[in-house]
A and B are shown apart, each in its own frame.
Chain A
Amino acid sequence: MRASGMSFDGSGFWRAAEPKPAYEVVVVGGGGHGLSTAYYLARNYGITDVAVLEKGWLGGGNMARNTTIIRSNYLWDESAAIYEHSLKLWEDLERELEFDIQFSQRGVLNLAHDLGDVRSSLRRVNANRLNAVDGEWLSPAEVANFCPIINISPDVRYPVLGATLQRRGGVARHDKVAWAYARAADRLGVDIVEHCEVRGFDVRQGHMTSVETSRGSIRATKVALAAAGHTSVLASMLGLRLPLQSHPLQALVSVLLEPVLNCVVMSNAVHVYVSQADKGELVMGAGIDAYNSYAQRGSFHVIEHQLAAAIQLFPIFRNAKLLRTWGGIVDVSPDASPILGTTPIDGLFLNCGWGTGGFKATPGSGHVYAETIANGKPGPLAQPFALERFETGALIDEHGAAAVAH
């Protein structure tokens, strides 16, 4: 057996499992959501006969490509409930998984740049408070007091008219989160199978029976997709139509700098979100490229637009050198909310559509997805996110209102 799962003492955080001929549950996708799903299946429901199939290496997709922002300040009740559930799990995760994931509740600012922003931000803070999600409105002077390097001059293209602050928001080290869940799931008996690509499914009389992979056929009557940007590729093998479009989403880091930024700053209007990693890199995210793509790279003009705004907001960044840029593939749904639940195929479960904001949901998504898989039906937190909402019209429109750059 190959050693697998990088660890600092070389011993490996998880076994490199060979796929067995059959499992009770097969999770497709070894990113954060797939790994947390497997962990909660084992821990909460005693379902340990589980394989996580990953076509590449563990946590090498969007889990290693996001900007690690964690918050729960969503507008609508359904979103606030699931993201706040996730944030509460984050707050206990280091103890539970016995792993230093560098979880840091340093506060998330969402800037408002025009009157429309101000009104929707105030509305969101009030909605958050009614849902017992912490949130405050800061005046420009209070913004500068909280984060001194922000330029609050009124004489700029996008003046800061105020901001919302979620103090419990923050960041975590994304790849460590993947390793922590992988190690915990592995210890409970879950098989993590890397370099194992799903190439087809066997469905008989509407029931899932097996998965065809690059490493052979695996029988399973419960198959749980957690493949983010590649969900449509898997669904097309099953003839399942989904309301998803895959887009590149870019991020970038600067060279290592002295500590200058003490919180997370997001700006919906100018498509910038930035924090500073513990080792000193400025970590910045951009908006998605407009067109569909699976290429894991985005266009430079998107970054150029983002950096022009970032430099005006943070004049101190003006001379910072860019170290590297990269892209991930995000699956965007029509209402910018996830799709989670059962499907018309018995035994096939769906967890996708997290779009540009899936990292923060890693614990909560896996937690409620495991519940859905174990019980064969969604619990109260997952239920509103069912695929059926596109037929009933009960959409959960988080475009813009969620204070996230789309």
Chain B
Amino acid sequence: MLLIPCPWCGPRDEIEFSYGGEAHIAYPAEPDELSDAQWADFLFMRHNPKGDFSERWYHSSGCRRWFNVIRSTVTHEIRAVYRVGEPPPEAGS
């Protein structure tokens, strides 16, 4: 089980959280202008790296707030945690 450092509550067990998948996928600014291929990319295509991954977590049994994590998909090590709206820290790049 992961120990996830919630930016508001501190380190808590993984079972308190829900997973939100890849981070930084913004809703299209001009949705009416998108082609079917662009919609497919927005809705379905995802990065799936073997290595550091920017992902969203939701503290569903805690403060009920979303935040972002950079975590290795190989070692599961959490390299950085940052709030929604903040750019990814350099540590994860």
Contacts and interface: CB of A to CB of B under 8 A. Distances in A.
A291 B71 contact: yes
A11 interface: no
A291 B74 contact: no
Most buried by A among B36, B41, B43, B76: B76
Contacts of A230: 50
B19 A241 contact: no
B70 to A, nearest CB: 12
Contacts of A295: 73-76
B40 A390 contact: yes
Nearest to A332: B48
Interface in B24-65: 36-37, 39-41, 43-50, 53, 55
A290 B19 contact: yes
Given A290-B18, A294-B74, A295-B73, A334 B44 contact: yes
B1 interface: yes
Contacts of B49: 232-233, 236
Interface in A286-303: 290-295, 299-301
Contacts of B18: 290
Nearest to A335: B44
B14 A292 contact: no
B92 interface: no
A294 B74 CA distance: 5
A380 interface: no
B74 A242 contact: no
A301 B45 contact: no
Interface string A171-212: 000000000000000000000000000000000000000000
B55 A243 contact: no
A292 B73 contact: yes
Given A230-B50, A301-B15, A294 B73 contact: yes
B55 A391 contact: no
B9 interface: no
Contacts, number: 70
B84 interface: no
Contacts of B37: 391
Contacts of A299: 1-2, 14
B67 to A, nearest CB: 14
B7 interface: no
A140 B24 CA distance: 48
Contacts of A241: 41, 45-46
A42 interface: no
A368 interface: no
A292 to B, nearest CB: 5
B74 to A, nearest CB: 6
A331 to B, nearest CB: 8
Interface in B6-20: 14-15, 18-19
Interface of A: 230, 232-233, 236, 241-246, 290-295, 299-301, 331, 334, 390-393
Interface of B: 1-2, 14-15, 18-19, 21, 36-37, 39-41, 43-50, 53, 55, 71, 73-76
Please provide the 7 A-B residue pairs with the shortest distance between their CB atoms, ordered closest to farther: A232-B48, A243-B44, A290-B19, A241-B45, A391-B40, A390-B44, A390-B40
